[in-house]
């Protein structure tokens, strides 16, 4: 039996840091529309006219808060960033973007739209992956970017109240200066807005540690479809059992029953000690065993447990090299799989000792092939990049079909294998390269049972889509999984909800939508149809 | 500056263990009814007849699953434990108790009641404190005790699926054998049922660590008012963003829109190291400072931070002595306030070191007068008893008016002081004793901003109640607090919801109730009126 101390196992990771290309550059200029697959425009909604624009302008304090092709204040190109989704897969035809500066303005705009029967799509950072935050047809785009202040922060309780349009990373940086952390972190943090995070019940990288937003959001302020402002912020109380917990319905409602304008959330103390290690492993079997050992050794300090496959790792390394990064080896022995383990604790010596105990155990039991532990902040970020750059690297490699699935951990990776087998059989994917599908990579959050499959194709194409869907949903349903672990339904998965929810559930949801928005003006054509 | 090591500060606590009297014995034999304050019986509901009993019996597999005074299968005395609430303050006149053994039986009974317009009160362990789980008039009592199996437990993910009627302590003991812990703990654990815990969104002693049930409950199975079984268990997935998160509405709905029959919940690893310390302190100011220091020193291992005042401590010690326990001193120097700090971690040495750091800091800064740290399991339980016996000791001291309030931590204790001042002025309370009010004690969960005030009177009495209410709610509303942090509304607080919620919120809640239960048969006269 070979015993290895952490000191031995540690070695300085050569700087794998890259200057990441702006994420927006991963958008493609080719515009593919599968208009046939989208629901037709409903005649129930009013067609916007120049006169509406005049009325709407009168409700807003600043002329720049409204841009429209109808009154010539904006060109189609100006509106494109609001009409095109993050993946450049969905392309709305909205003619008006309204960016209110206050909750009262949101309320006035909604009341106007309610009265006139104008359909509205609420929009945050527009970083969603299921076409939920862009118009399907000509819905008015109500963008929350101008509502972006931190309203208050209580350092004793850690309670934060913030406008919906505040950027996640900006807020987290502000919290860091008070020794606190936002209980959510995800790849798009530099662009996504907290209102959108809550509206889509974002999960992200540290759900394992800080739990879901259903637990950490303490209150919401919401503008209802008819313009009523509902103050459900609740004074920042951690406990309040006075009636139905109405705010919960808005968490994950994807902008279909109200527009979240303010959020009160409980932020934990920021761990003073953070460590990250990445291991290479021989098999998915080993990934699961390492997870069990990690939980047992690290207990309360474990803050993330991510995995990715060899294909994802190779893709990121290739992307980094193409970005000009020196081609240095990260691992002596590469593996079929990789896991990233992060700890966040309050005492560095204690956390290192626990990590050392884990590492010794993993090496003694031959569960890992190699491991790298970050020695400083630069290396901490470098190691995280191996995981965080996967979506961007996939985007660089083509048009990406993204699936975001929940299944029991032991079954997770078999879905990637099934997908590879199916696409190989169809001739679309060739291991040796040259197929219309270039890459199929699997990664995700083991601790949450959440798998991401990215399928990189030359371009979006109805034939490819037909081979993938609904097959991918069928294999998830066979495991009683979820067809959307965290991305939501949007327009992309709305027709497929039946793979995850039974008719009773769908009926209940329709009644909720009907109760809040009987005219159906809020984010139509999506979510619950 | 005096430096004190933990070793010095430790001293064996003399066994303060008592044999607690059965909690049910705190019920009083005098039956006080404030019938005038309760809503009148609604004529919309059917009067149960013997023929209904015959029909209902036919739906149940066992003759013992139905007890009724209408067919002579039970006496009024037999039904009393189901009609009287935990505090013996509310006294229903239910003539039938149904205890289904399966979800299908619950469904059949509900469908029958729906069709016939029979009002139903769902009942778990009947340990609620706001009269929510007993009939107000002659509602059929649907008791979940016979639905009490653990359905499944997955040791890797910690996902538990359990029947609603399972007793919290029984389930936690079962989890302990697998190295897991139920993410909720409260005084009534030996009697309360998990379905009731979820239906009332119970908070309890470790919310600080494990968060609210809105975060840890993964799925619910619910029988809707018309008998439909809604399977929202969701296969135990930790993440699932496919539509509105309907289960959230049932958490804290107090049995008014559906009967929870099954629960899937995420259970954390049970900490392998548990420590508890109790400190005596000079002031409420010190309590707050100790809280800040404790969070900073103990970080992720802090699992409970409870406080109680001198009056509560004295009451418990008196109760323990009356119970035959030897009169040994717990603290060299007693204080105006006490705090209980619990840690739960994965490595005893690390946790002790962190605790030692805390203790040194508290002593150096003269924040505590004295401290006792448990040396073994017996002492661990003894120290917890100082906090956990407060409600029972109060019950022994008379008829208790219980208030359960959320306010910002700095304002918490001032509510107790205001209450004492008001009751002194009224002449009902005399510091030297002899008033109709014997004790006014304050305690609660500092970490959650949750204060409990117990006012022990000779007996329940409309005059006393008028001095307390709505004054207590007014002073809470003035701080934008919650009139019910964790106990819920039930019948006791239903009329006072306006002190915590605005009209828009109440209107939304009424629409939810209407949507699920248009006939209003489920737990009428309570919650949202």
Give yes or no for a contact between B120 and B82, defined as CB atoms under 8 angstroms apart: no
**B529 inside 8 A of chain A by CB:** no
What spatial distance separates the first Cα and last Cα of chain A, rounded to whole Å?
Answer: 60
Measured CA to CA, the distance from residue B440 to residue B468 in angstroms comes to 12
CA distance A211 to chain B (A): 6
Residue B455: per-residue pLDDT: 97
Cross-chain residue pair A157–B449, CB shorter than 8 Å = yes
> pLDDT tens, A227-244?
999 999 988 899 999 999
**A344 inside 8 A of chain B by CB:** yes
Give yes or no for a contact between B371 and B4, defined as CB atoms under 8 angstroms apart: no
**A51 inside 8 A of chain B by CB:** no
Cross-chain residue pair A241–B486, CB shorter than 8 Å = yes
Cross-chain residue pair A201–B245, CB shorter than 8 Å = yes
- What is the three-class DSSP state of A114? helix
Burial of B229-248, coded b for 16+ CB within 10 Å and e otherwise, reads bbbbbbbbbbbbbbbbbbbb
> pLDDT tens, A54-94?
999 999 999 999 999 999 999 999 999 999 999 899 999 99
Measured CA to CA, the distance from residue B113 to residue B227 in angstroms comes to 9
Pairing of strands A302-309, A337-345: antiparallel
CA distance A19 to chain B (A): 32
How many other CB atoms are found less than 10 A from the CB of residue B112? 19
> pLDDT tens, A430-479?
988 889 999 999 999 998 899 999 999 999 989 999 999 999 999 999 99
Measured CA to CA, the distance from residue B520 to residue B529 in angstroms comes to 10
CA distance A278 to chain B (A): 22
Closest C-alpha to B265, from B186, B151, B148: B151
CA-nearest residue of chain A to B303?
A: A300
Measured CA to CA, the distance from residue B341 to residue A86 in angstroms comes to 48
Pairing of strands A337-345, A273-281: antiparallel
Cross-chain residue pair B353–A350, CB shorter than 8 Å = yes
Helix, strand and coil percent figures for chain A, each rounded to 5 = 40, 20, 40
Q: Give me the residue from B212, B299, B512 closest to A244, CB to CB.
A: B512
Tokens of A468: 């993938």
Alpha helices by DSSP H, listed for B299-446, are 310-322, 348-364, 377-388, 390-396, 412-425
Q: Where in chain A is the domain with CATH 3.30.465.10?
A: 150-266
CATH code given to domain B274-391: 3.30.70.2190
Pairing of strands A140-143, A96-98: parallel
Task: State CA B154 to chain mean position distance.
Answer: 27
**B478 inside 8 A of chain A by CB:** no
Contact partners, residue B462, CB within 8 Å, separation at least 6: B34, B37
Q: Where in chain A is the domain with CATH 3.30.70.2190?
A: 6-24+271-391
How many other CB atoms are found less than 10 A from the CB of residue A41? 16
**Partners of residue A405 in chain B, C-beta under 8 Å:** none
More confident residue, A86 or A22: A86
Q: What percent of chain A has pLDDT over 70?
A: 93
Residue B53: per-residue pLDDT: 98
Cross-chain residue pair A449–B237, CB shorter than 8 Å = yes
Give yes or no for a contact between A326 and A19, defined as CB atoms under 8 angstroms apart: no
Query: Which of A161, A243, A523 is the best mutation test for B, with the most CBs of B within 10 A?
Result: A243
DSSP letter string, B261-324: EEEEEE-PBPPSEEEEEEEEES-HHHHHHHHHHHHHHHGGGEEEEEEEEHHHHHHHHHHHHHTT
More confident residue, A18 or A365: A365
> pLDDT tens, A90-118?
999 999 999 999 999 999 999 999 999 99
For CA atoms B270, B271, B277, B282, the dihedral sign is negative
CATH code given to domain A150-266: 3.30.465.10
Tell me the average pLDDT of chain A. Answer: 92
User: A76 burial class (0-12, 13-18, 19+ CB within 10 angstroms)?
Assistant: exposed
Closest C-alpha to A133, from A497, A492, A511, A514: A492
Query: pLDDT-based confidence at A156, cuts 50/70/90?
Result: confident
Which stretches of A366-467 are assigned E, i.e. beta strand?
370-373, 399-406, 437-445, 450-457
Q: Give me the residue from B215, B347, B508 closest to A246, CB to CB.
A: B508
Measured CA to CA, the distance from residue B234 to residue B228 in angstroms comes to 17
Cross-chain residue pair B350–A346, CB shorter than 8 Å = no
Pairing of strands A140-143, A120-123: parallel
Q: Give me the residue from B354, B448, B505 closest to A232, CB to CB.
A: B505
A153 forms bridges with which residues in the sheet?
A160
Q: What is the number of CB-based contacts under 8 A between chain A and chain B?
A: 266
CA distance A21 to chain B (A): 30
**B152 inside 8 A of chain A by CB:** no
- What is the three-class DSSP state of B374? coil
Backbone angles phi, psi at A216, to 5 degrees: -95, -25
| Tally of helices (H runs) and strands (E runs) in chain B | 18, 16
**A249 inside 8 A of chain B by CB:** yes
Query: Which of A107, A225, A240 is the best mutation test for B, with the most CBs of B within 10 A?
Result: A240
Backbone angles phi, psi at B73, to 5 degrees: -80, -10
DSSP letter string, A460-506: --HHHHHHHTTHHHHHHHHTT-BSBSSS--TTTTGGGGGGTS-HHHH
What fold characterizes domain A6-24+271-391?
Answer: Alpha-Beta Plaits (3.30.70)
Pairing of strands B259-266, B273-281: unpaired
Cross-chain residue pair B249–A249, CB shorter than 8 Å = yes
**A528 inside 8 A of chain B by CB:** yes
**Partners of residue A517 in chain B, C-beta under 8 Å:** none
How many other CB atoms are found less than 10 A from the CB of residue B372? 23
Measured CA to CA, the distance from residue B62 to residue A484 in angstroms comes to 43
Q: How far is CA A372 from CA A14, A330, B528, in A?
A: 10, 8, 57
Contact partners, residue A428, CB within 8 Å, separation at least 6: A435, A436, A437, A457, A464, A467
Residue B27: per-residue pLDDT: 31
The DSSP secondary-structure symbol of B25 reads G
Measured CA to CA, the distance from residue B446 to residue B487 in angstroms comes to 16
Residue A235: per-residue pLDDT: 82
Q: Where in chain B is the domain with CATH 3.30.70.2190?
A: 274-391
Residue B402: per-residue pLDDT: 95
> pLDDT tens, A260-295?
999 999 999 999 999 999 999 999 999 999 999 999
Residue B12: per-residue pLDDT: 30
Give yes or no for a contact between B86 and B400, defined as CB atoms under 8 angstroms apart: no
CATH code given to domain A397-487: 3.30.70.2740
Name the strands in the sheet holding A217-223, side by side, starting at the edge strand that comes first in the sequence.
A150-154, A159-163, A259-266, A217-223, A229-232
Q: How far is CA B416 from CA A477, B284, B334, B388, B455, in A?
A: 54, 12, 20, 19, 10
Backbone angles phi, psi at A390, to 5 degrees: -60, -50
Cross-chain residue pair B243–A296, CB shorter than 8 Å = no
Q: Give me the residue from A239, A292, A484 closest to B486, CB to CB.
A: A239
A25 has a pLDDT exceeding 50: no
Kindly report the length of chain B: 529
Which stretches of B29-101 are assigned E, i.e. beta strand?
66-68, 96-98
A67 forms bridges with which residues in the sheet?
A97
ipTM for the whole complex: 0.92
Measured CA to CA, the distance from residue B476 to residue B399 in angstroms comes to 23
CATH code given to domain A25-143: 3.30.43.10
**A117 inside 8 A of chain B by CB:** no
Measured CA to CA, the distance from residue A452 to residue A486 in angstroms comes to 10
> pLDDT tens, A425-438?
999 999 888 899 99
Closest C-alpha to B289, from A179, A238, A156: A156
Q: Which residue has the tokens 């309203």?
A: A151
CA distance A345 to chain B (A): 7
Tokens of B384: 């917890």
Pairing of strands B140-143, B96-98: parallel
Query: pLDDT-based confidence at A6, cuts 50/70/90?
Result: very low
Contact partners, residue B334, CB within 8 Å, separation at least 6: B280, B310, B313, B369, B370
Q: How far is CA B514 from CA A372, A414, B234, in A?
A: 58, 45, 25
For CA atoms A255, A261, A266, A267, the dihedral sign is positive
A14 has a pLDDT exceeding 70: no
Largest CA distance in chain B: 80
Closest C-alpha to B151, from B171, B177, B168: B171
Tokens of A48: 């916007």
Residue A177: per-residue pLDDT: 97
Q: What is the pLDDT along chain B (529 residues), one digit of tens a residue?
A: 333 334 334 433 322 333 332 222 233 333 344 444 799 999 999 999 999 999 999 999 999 999 999 999 999 999 999 999 998 999 999 999 999 999 999 999 999 999 999 999 999 999 999 999 999 999 999 999 999 999 999 988 899 999 999 999 999 999 999 999 999 999 999 999 999 999 999 998 989 999 999 999 999 999 999 999 999 998 889 999 999 999 999 999 999 999 999 999 999 999 999 999 999 999 999 999 999 999 999 999 999 999 999 999 999 999 999 999 887 889 999 999 999 999 999 999 999 999 999 999 999 999 999 999 999 999 999 999 999 999 999 998 889 999 999 999 999 999 999 999 999 999 999 988 889 999 999 999 998 899 999 999 999 989 999 999 999 999 999 999 999 999 999 999 999 999 999 999 999 999 999 999 999 999 999 999 9
**Partners of residue B410 in chain A, C-beta under 8 Å:** 156
């Amino acid at each position: 039996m070979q015993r290895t101390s952490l000191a031995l196992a540690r070695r300085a990771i050569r700087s794998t840091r890259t200057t990441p290309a702006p994420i927006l550059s991963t958008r493609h200029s080719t515009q593919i529309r599968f208009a046939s697959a989208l629901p037709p425009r409903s005649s129930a909604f009013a067609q916007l006219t120049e006169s509406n624009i005049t009325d709407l302008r009168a409700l807003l304090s600043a002329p720049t808060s409204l841009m429209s092709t109808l009154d010539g204040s904006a060109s189609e190109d100006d509106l494109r960033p609001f009409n095109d989704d993050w993946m450049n897969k969905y392309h709305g035809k909205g003619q008006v973007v309204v960016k209110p500066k206050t909750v009262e303005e949101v309320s006035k705009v909604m009341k106007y739209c309610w009265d006139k029967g104008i359909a509205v799509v609420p929009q945050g950072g527009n970083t969603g992956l299921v076409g939920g935050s862009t118009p399907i047809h000509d819905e008015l785009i109500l963008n929350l970017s101008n509502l972006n202040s931190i309203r208050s922060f209580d350092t004793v309780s850690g309670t934060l109240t913030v406008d919906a349009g505040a950027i996640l990373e900006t807020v987290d940086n502000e919290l860091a200066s008070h020794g606190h952390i936002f209980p959510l972190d995800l790849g798009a943090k530099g662009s996504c807005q907290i209102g959108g995070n809550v509206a889509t019940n974002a999960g992200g990288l540290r759900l394992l540690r800080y739990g879901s937003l259903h637990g950490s959001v303490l209150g919401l302020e919401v503008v209802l479809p008819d313009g009523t402002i509902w103050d459900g912020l609740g004074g920042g109380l951690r406990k309040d059992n006075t009636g139905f917990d109405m705010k919960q319905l808005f968490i994950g409602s994807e902008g279909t029953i109200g527009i979240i304008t303010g959020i009160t959330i409980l932020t934990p103390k920021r761990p003073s000690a953070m460590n990250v290690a990445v291991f290479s492993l021989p098999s998915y079997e080993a990934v699961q065993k390492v997870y069990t050992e990690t939980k047992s050794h690290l207990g309360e300090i474990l803050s993330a447990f991510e995995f990715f496959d060899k294909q994802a790792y190779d893709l990121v390394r290739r992307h980094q090299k193409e970005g000009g990064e020196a081609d240095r080896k990260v691992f002596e022995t590469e593996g079929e799989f990789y896991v990233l383990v992060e700890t966040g604790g309050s005492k560095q010596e204690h956390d290192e000792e626990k990590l050392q105990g884990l590492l010794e155990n993993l090496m003694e039991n031959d569960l890992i092939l190699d491991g790298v532990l970050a020695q400083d902040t630069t290396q901490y970020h470098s190691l995280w990049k191996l995981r965080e750059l996967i979506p961007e690297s996939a985007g660089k490699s083509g048009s990406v079909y993204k699936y975001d699935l929940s299944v029991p951990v032991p079954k997770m990776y078999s879905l990637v294998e099934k997908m590879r087998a199916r696409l190989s059989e169809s001739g679309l994917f060739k291991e040796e390269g040259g197929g219309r599908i270039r890459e199929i990579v699997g990664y995700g959050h083991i601790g949450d049972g959440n798998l991401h499959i990215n399928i990189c194709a030359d371009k979006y194409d109805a034939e490819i889509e037909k081979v993938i869907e609904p097959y991918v949903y069928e294999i998830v349903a066979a495991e009683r999984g979820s067809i959307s672990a965290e991305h939501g339904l949007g327009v992309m998965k709305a027709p497929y909800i039946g793979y995850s929810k039974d008719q009773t559930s769908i009926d209940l949801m329709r009644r909720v939508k009907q109760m809040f928005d009987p005219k159906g003006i809020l984010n139509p054509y999506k979510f619950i149809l």
